[in-house]
Amino acid sequence: MINVSAIRMKQFGVQFYQAALTARDIDKLVRFEVLSYGHQATRGAARPPTSKVNWDLLEKRIAASEKAYQRQIIRRKIDELVQYYEQCRQARDLPSIPGAVIISCDEELSFTPVEEGATVGMLKVPEREGILRAIDGQHRLLALHADIDSFGGEEFVVPAVIFDQLPEDHIVQMFVTINAKHTRLNASHLVSLSGRQLYRDDALATAHDVVRALNDHEDSPLYEEIRLLGVGHGRVAQAPLAQELKKIFASDQLGAGRKADEFREEARKFFVNYFKQVALVFGAAWNGRKYSIKTAPALRGFIRVVPDVVRRLDQQHTDRTDFRAIGRVISPWGRRIGDLRFETEGAWKGTTIDQLAKELRLALQYPEGAFV
């Protein structure tokens, strides 16, 4: 038996439980199944070559049956969820599965209240593989299964609503009611909300303005490389970059008062020019396929040292947005660090944002490689 704290609830005479199951429990206890139409269990676009999902292993986990009720699995949806989970794990500012999944247990559950008449207590779930069926949330749980190895030893719990031996016709009725109609936002509308309309925090709004500029300006080296609110073909998530930028704009690292306000107004131009120069300094890595320079951790490392770059520009009494001046300041990176530092299967392995930022700062401080 697996023992979990739970709340016993009742609506219209139907009893169910709210509990928090660990990711490993979910992965073991939940079985995934779809209604068989005599075709494969998944549908959607062809498997993208850059997908992080091992589809061969994932599809083996999905059973097909004429008695099942779940729709065929949408590959694109799973892939987007896995990317979102990775984004949440990197940014550490959002939970990836904050809403409860709805599950039915095939066998009877045992609930022991903390005291007589209490709704809070201990729920015992039989520890048998596949004993739970997903009514709502199967795509989220499949994405969790596909991405679970990335969580390492980190504690991760999934909120769940668990029904005890819910009749089959009730399960199907609930599934249809939940999934028959969905409110879908147009993709262009989502992107339009990724700036000041969505964020009241001035620092975060400025950060998202910068991210939009990096993604939308055709002369930006990150043109269409960023996924804005999960929309687009880019490989880099928006949130980690925005959070890193917010830390800069919310602090006094770029100066205070009028000087800081002026920089916020020019921030989009500065960051486009800054990353254009980064792309020139590390040309082979930026344009190569076996490098990790255009990943969220690397880009965050470059953003983190922007205050140091700006201080150098101020010391030289040059315009902070001047393309050539930015290039002169960061040119030591080419000599001191070089493209090989970003080889995915080489020096990049195990690199943290702090490590990269430290190396970039040292190269600015000691451009000729003085002994430290």
Instruction: State pLDDT tens for residues 205-220.
Output: 888 889 999 999 999 9
pLDDT of residue 331 exceeding 90: yes
Query: Could you tell me the sign of the dihedral formed by the alpha carbons of 81, 183, 168, 163, in that order?
Result: positive
**pTM (two decimals):** 0.60
pLDDT of residue 202 exceeding 90: no
* Amino acid sitting at position 106: D
Q: What is the pLDDT of residue 346?
A: 94
When pLDDT is averaged across residues 61-74 and rounded to a whole number, the result is 63
pLDDT of residue 156 exceeding 50: yes
Token digits for 289? 């396929």
Q: What is the pLDDT of residue 69?
A: 54
Using pLDDT thresholds of 50, 70 and 90, give the confidence band for residue 38.
very low
Contact 36, 65 (CB under 8 A): yes
Q: What is the pLDDT of residue 39?
A: 44
Of 95, 52, 101, 98, the closest CA to residue 75 belongs to 52
When pLDDT is averaged across residues 331-344 and rounded to a whole number, the result is 95
Burial class (CB in 10 A: 0-12, 13-18, 19+), 135: buried
pLDDT digits (tens, 9 = 90+) for 1-15: 889 999 999 988 888
pLDDT of residue 304 exceeding 90: yes
Average the pLDDT over each of 98-107, 122-131, 173-182, 278-287 and give the range with the smallest value: 173-182
Q: What is the pLDDT of residue 23?
A: 86
